[in-house]
Amino acid sequence: MSDTTRVEHDAFGPVDVPAARYWGAQTQRALGVFAIGTERFPACLIHAFGLQKMAAARANQRCGVLDAQRADAIVQAASQLRDGLHDADFPLTIWQTGSGTQTNMNANEVIANRANELLGQPRGTKSPVHPNDHVNASQSSNDSFPTVMHIAAVLELQQRLLPALAVLQGSLAARAQAFGGVVKIARTHLMDAVPMMVDQAFDAYARQVALGMERVRGTLPRLRVLPQGGTAAGTGLNAPPGFDAAFCDELGALTGLDFSPNPSKFEGMAVHDALVEASGALNTLASSLVKIANDLRLLGSGPRCGLGELRIPDDGLTSSIMPGKRNPTIAEVLVQACLQVMGNHGTVTMANASGLFELNVAKPVLIHNLLQSIRVLSDAAGVFATRLVDGLELDRERLAANVENSLLVVTALNPVLGYDRVARIVRESLASGRPPRELAIELGMLTGEAYDRHVDAKALARPHPAP
């Protein structure tokens, strides 16, 4: 021991631990064993551990496992974990035992050391609060870590992702309203098609996001079902009767959310289908957002030599070689974030398939990828809404010229002239460069008045009312 270290003990003997840190012997040993990578759990998972340990201590007190003094000290220390005061005391990467044992022990040790400080004892004493006997009472890493996975996922989806998506959906809906009444030419197979309204396209984008939000919300009821109480293998060994229900009651009181015990702890610990389902909703959402981002950057391409129907707001950035060049950087960022989410979903899926018998053993990498997906989607969707969608403008002259030059508005003449005669107008118009109206009159198919009555781009863009 030196001025910078203290000695802590575990079942394998003494270990030197940094004196300034709250972790203990098991965490210190794990640092030496798992010297792999730099990827760490996001702070939200550590904060969720604080909530889990608070609820467990209160449930243990209710069940007669912990006395009031120890329970209160654990709750107070764990609340500091929840509030982010001990983020620096979690040094381990995600590359650890597949049950998340090392991070669970990290939480137990930090809380025990801080609780003992609160009770007037130095760090490392393990008395009166022991990391295993008291902080981890009625628990195992095997049920606590997946419970924390669910808590973190629920909170991040509800408090981070859904609000960000609501902002984006509102931005797209606002653009639809602002662009109402403006006709454009639809494109199918990347080629000119029939007239439509600009607001119809933005209504579709807004609905994609709204449906994505519905899919995310649909996963929450199953995520709020927790395996806590299953302990080592799902049987509940060493947990008192009623601990699982008491835990969910206490967690609900702390979060204001409705959590419930999993009736099959074996299912909740051996597989994480609910988390894969949530990742699947994010994967679907990511594919929707890629489509929207790509549409907007293509419609804004140019501004002089591309489609140029949209004016994308300036982000203040430019090319390293072409002065004044403006790029759709925000759309590109959103696409990249979505590609990461799609890749993460593959990892989450394979991690869930790594359950063997009574325990999934790829929990850390699974939750790391899921929480990253939630975070990057939330951040990217918010930036996309506020820095790109909100500032979109139309090049109305370009849109009007495109409508005027479109050939396929004559599709409206199919019921009047028949497909083959309309195809002749289009073919000769393409070959000669002459307007289809002029050719229809010259070929004796329609008078100018009749043509104008049937070929009205704005009227054609609106759906016919139901009979």
CB 59 within 8 A of CB 247: yes
- How far does Cα 145 stand from its chain's mean position? 20
- Specify which residues 225 forms β-bridges with: 260
Phi/psi for 83 (5° steps) reads: -85, 5
- The tokens of 344 are what? 């993460």
The Cα–Cα gap between 387 and 200 comes to: 22
Q: For residues 452 and 434, what is the distance between their CA atoms, to the nearest angstrom?
A: 16
Residues 6+ positions from 196 with CB-CB distance below 8 Å? 183, 184, 185, 186, 461
CB atoms within 10 A of CB 339: 13
134 noted as active-site residue: no
CA distance 279 to 300: 31
| Candidates 9, 127, 264, 319; catalytic one | 319
Q: Which two tokens stand for residue 159?
A: 């408090």
Q: Which residues contact 87 (CB under 8 A, 6 or more apart)?
A: 43, 46
Q: How many residues does the chain have?
A: 467
Q: Catalytic residue at 189? A: yes
Residue 224: phi and psi, rounded to 5, are -85, 5
Could you say which of 189, 320, 368, 373 is catalytic? 189
Task: Compute the C-alpha angle 93/94/99, nearest 5°.
Answer: 130
* Residue 262: both structure tokens together: 């999993």
What positions carry a catalytic annotation? 189, 319
